[in-house]
Structure 1
């Protein structure tokens, strides 16, 4: 075997539930050369890591086809190492081919082979009924012939599954029950059961297809064509998938943006709701980033493409959600393990019901064999097995549509159990860029202080310079040109503006050329104590004013932290910034803080909290917080538009709102409640029909309806999660006791 493995990704047509996925998984793992398999019924996909594709791929396709499913190989083959890029490429091809029945999705339901089988099975059942009316003595033979139309393909699949390592499949139970019904003469009921089973499979497939379509429909957000600007300025319409990094494209008002990019020229408002869930359009100007699939507003934008089709935001979201659906939650893994013992147990129970009463108390054999066969059908595990993955898939898809990405069911399940959430400061609780908070007039008007400072800062890309220039632009101040401008290392800037000698920089350096009065020094000290950075403006050796800047909290930070407290979660801030700045921001937000921390200190504090028994979430940018993100129960990247943030953390919030962390917790708790409802429905219906069958109230065809009905009910209940939106639920106001406890915790220092 080659040391370098290849990865093949398939769409699997006809896979409706976790039982189907388990059969395919067991069968493919038996093939020589296959190293690993990941099958997801909820996304309808299978990923296989294997050796030589020329020899292994045909064996995979033959094995899965024998089980009754159809495989469509997605374009793209890559080494298993570096699988993120490989999967992204596969997803791009999937997105490009969306709607094509042979590649990205299944054919319309009315064109699927199973529909033809149901039609012929139903037709045979009707003909048998009609023939039985004409020749009553032969009606059992007519029904026996009719049921063979559906039984033969079911029995063939059962035999193939048994050979491939799944002896106790749903098809096996159906085959045993039907053959048993034939033996005892219940041919009419057996024929009806076969038809109802096939119809139930179709309904399950339609429900599962809706879940897949919810995430697959994201690919339809990206337009098929883009307006490419050539080197000579001519505009040409080309396929969006042909765009390369560095290309320039033109986006007209009302058009969907065809690629992730950076605005080169033009201003407009962009509706980002399709990608981030943000309800209000975002203003865009030169230098701003835009996402593929978002809608341009009222201005013409000229963009530089920053990501090819296979790497754009939509492709990454699809990849993350589909990969997440292949990672099982603890509850799902438990149900999977349970079902492996559950199905053989049902077979044993059915056998005991069939033989014990006749053997021990002399009950009629045919009556109790009939009841045993009904119990076989009632015990089909489909509804129970699908109860968890259906809800998880729907929740992951709903979250992705709102800009909440979670890498798997385990993350979704864990989010609802969080007790402490530790936030980074810069770029997480704050905007991540300084802004002017105060303009102080000492010997010049505020507008003049800002005008002269902006004159020196022109052309600089320093964050403080950008803050001053942004403030000047906001007040419609046009800075005059500065001559002989130069930077004094670690001190500030000097130059000549309108014939005046101007200095703008640190107060300590300003004191070397100008005199600061006690009142001026006290004002500057007060601003520093508030966590602000102060720069002094001196004109011709005289202090004219000062400008204070600070990285301000996000607009929703305080409300977002309050929503976490309302959910019973304790928020805190862990930052590497200086203690004075950190305390000022924490005071404004009302959150406990630990400051001047190195990355390893943050990881240690998170670890200490976990040792105390807390379930801890860590929210950061995914780069300098990587150790703490890895240490926490869940690492959440804030503003996960970068590859580093998406790949480092367990989850990400795309539009960077603090309130989205609590929304993720609410979604998790809602999903877990849905799972518990599904398990109750599945087990409750089976228990009810078990009792009625033993009592002789219900028979074979109600038994199959119980199984099919439970599966459809469970899937439909899970699909309700697709409509979830943040804020759809009203957060319960915390009690007085909870608010007192939160206030006490806010004043308490975190461990370390």
Structure 2
């Protein structure tokens, strides 16, 4: 019976409202009141049934919910034969519920649009070499897939033939198209606007970047911030307190109707719903613009940031450095040394290693038979019978490689010119020094200025590069502080030091080398380009690695946090005004109070919905 009643909640609301209209029509136009009591009684019964069932269910789990208060109030109204109060209160409560659900649906629209972009089918190559349409669930890693103009990329993969232009808005939030050729990476949920490509599936289903985005955003909506946890706890005590207040008022005044009205007006509906709706709307807006905010707690933390710490390569810089200067030690065969260098660096994904490989693409390469990575220092490798060491000056000193004073002096000059340094030794003998330069991101100084205007007091650069390079960058873009020669553990220790000094620290990195700092900071932001590591390790992901999105992300976090506070003030303010007016004036009754109460719920929801249209620019 309970299931049947709850399944027909909408119909019961309609019956409730129709009987109220009948009573109104009878009072003014029909029999002048003969039908009114019966109509109102039936309206109250129809309305209270689903509310009473929900109240019973909440009491079973030892929760005194809003439904419990309303049910007691309606039963009390029946007891004192105030049928019009029972009918009006139940109708407003049920109608408010449906209006609340309707407005909540709008806040979920951005997330729903993401889910709708998820591919359902793919053109898969069969055993006969033909492409046939199959369900996306039938696609496996290494399958060969065909995508035509206008089609959705079904999985994450690599283009093996063909070319075209792909709209990656579902991943990056930017609607501009990206040229894709053989060897390019493509992402599920993006759209091939022009061209035809064949790709090899690398990640499918929930493992795709798009699948992880949807999963993370949905998880983020369910997470709770400190204000939400406070409201949950507050409601546990507040609701019984209202019940106790109603009992005290009834006992002191001997006015049962007044006590019942206290129950109705004290319902904390807007207080309970206001913060979660703000959370959903803010996260939804971010997802629509390629900004993944992993939960309400993240929004709250980031909105209070006062210190922002940056990695250099790929964060403040464009992340595409090249060798700008090469110094060859006397007696070294430069050509052979470069071959050993490029062969070794090909084994590393570090940005500086990739810079070397990109600078010398046509250099001969040899098999690398053994490698050892020194975290934050460099790499050792066995290449063509030679022991090759690559890294910073500290690595050379630590492993007993004798770098002459005049060589160190030359390297210091390179560093003072803004170069990142790589020292190379072959068989324990210094061979090469490379000066590598990266370009600062366009308008990075202006973007940092925007962060300062938003309340970020300290802008700090922590880098593994030499101090000369980081000092030069700090001077160019007006940073508060810059520290070079920092190992990953040094960065994490420095962030811990800042936090111990009471600072709210956000770390912005590439999500790969800086995972300890991303995890330790109050908020970790990855300039990720949708990479797995960036999505997994950080609290916020800027999917297109656009540095100019940093300030808008902070604006959105602050706006969402402020919206939560506004909804708390509205909700608490309405309850206090209603209860105060009820106890100390005579203008309010149960019907009027319930109308104002339900209106306050709609107000806080509509206030939260404003975040969906909040402009990030």
TM bucket normalised to smaller: 0.7 to 0.9
After TM superposition, list the pairs within 5 Å mapping 1:600-639 onto structure 2.
Answer: 600-639=489-528
Aligned to 2:58: 161
Matched residues in 2 for 1:584 and 1:289: separation? 35
Residue 268 and residue 466 in structure 1: after superposition, are their counterparts in 2 closer, same or farther (change >3 A)? farther
Superposition map of 1:243-642 within 5 A: 243-358=139-254, 365=255, 369-435=256-322, 463-464=354-355, 466-468=357-359, 529-532=416-419, 550-569=437-456, 570-591=458-479, 592-639=481-528, 641-642=530-531
Contact persistence 1:402–1:725 (CA under 8 A): no
Tell me, yes or no, if the aligned pair for 2:268 and 2:575 is still in contact at 8 Å.
Answer: no
**1:67 CA drift (Å):** 12
Matches within 5 A, 1:657-696: 657-694=546-583, 695-696=585-586
- 8 A Cα contact 1:124 1:149, kept in partner: no
Q: 1:136 aligns to what?
A: 33
Matched-pair contact (CA < 8 Å) for 1:640–1:646? no
Structure 1 residues 646, 181: closer, same or farther in 2, change over 3 A?
Answer: same
Aligned to 1:148: 45
- State the alpha-carbon separation in 2 of the partners of residues 688 and 331 from structure 1: 22
Return the alpha-carbon distance in structure 2 between the equivalents of residues 140 and 717 of structure 1.
39
Question: What does residue 215 of structure 1 align with?
Answer: 111
1:684 & 1:602 partners in 2: Cα distance?
Answer: 46
Please state if 1:113 is matched with 2:3. Answer: no
Indicate the SS of the match to 1:227: strand
**TM-score, with structure 1 as normaliser:** 0.66
Q: Which residue of 1 aligns with 2:349?
A: none
Q: Contact (CA 8 Å) 2:125, 2:131: kept in 1 or not?
A: yes
2:123 counterpart of 1:123: no
Deviation at 1:340, TM superposition (A): 1.4
The structural deviation recorded for 1:556 is 4.9
Between the aligned partners of 2:186 and 2:259, the Cα distance in structure 1 is 62
TM norm structure 2 = 0.80
| 1:34-85 Cα distance to aligned partner (Å, 9 max, x none) | xxxxxxxxxxxxxxxxxxxxxxxxxxxx9xx87987xxxxxxxxxxxxxxxx
Residues 111 and 284, structure 2, Cα contact 8 Å, conserved in 1: yes
C-alpha distance in 1 between matches for 2:147 and 2:297: 40
Question: Is 1:701 the counterpart of 2:597 in the alignment?
Answer: no
Instruction: Measure the CA separation in 2 of the matches of 1:285 and 1:311.
Output: 23
Do 1:637 and 1:651's aligned partners in 2 also have CA atoms closer than 8 Å?
yes
Using the TM superposition, give the Cα deviation of residue 672 of structure 1 relative to its aligned residue in structure 2, in angstroms: 1.4
- Residues of 1 paired with 2:189 and 2:600: CA distance? 38
Deviation at 1:248, TM superposition (A): 2.2
The residue correspondences of 1:88-99 to structure 2 (distance < 5 A) are: none
Shift of 1:128: 4.7
Which string of whole-angstrom CA distances, capped at 9 and with x for unpartnered residues, describes residues 652-697 of structure 1? Answer: 2211122333222211110111112111221222233334434221
Which stretches in structure 2 are left out of the alignment for 5+ residues?
327-337, 347-352, 369-378, 380-408, 423-432
Please name the residue that 1:721 is paired with. 611
Name stretches of at least 5 consecutive residues in structure 1 with no aligned partner: 1-61, 70-111, 359-364, 440-452, 471-478, 491-521, 536-545, 728-752
Report the secondary structure of 1:306's partner residue.
strand
Tell me, yes or no, if structure 1 residue 710 matches structure 2 residue 600.
yes
2:539 counterpart of 1:643 = no
Secondary structure, counterpart of 1:300 in structure 2: strand
CA RMSD for the aligned pairs? Answer: 3.6
What is the Cα deviation at residue 421 of structure 1?
A: 1.0
Give how far 1:152 is off: 2.3
SS at match of 2:608: helix
> What is the deviation of 1:527?
5.7
Q: Take 2:494 and 2:462, find their aligned partners in 1: how far apart are those partners?
A: 9
Residue 137 (structure 1) shift = 4.8
Q: Give the distance between the partners of 2:192 and 2:414, measured in 1 at CA.
A: 41
Is the partner of 2:491 in helix, strand or coil?
helix
* Contact kept in structure 1, 2:26 and 2:34, CA below 8 Å: no
Aligned 8 A contact 1:645 1:652 in 2: yes
Question: In 2, distance between residues paired with 1:68 and 1:384?
Answer: 27
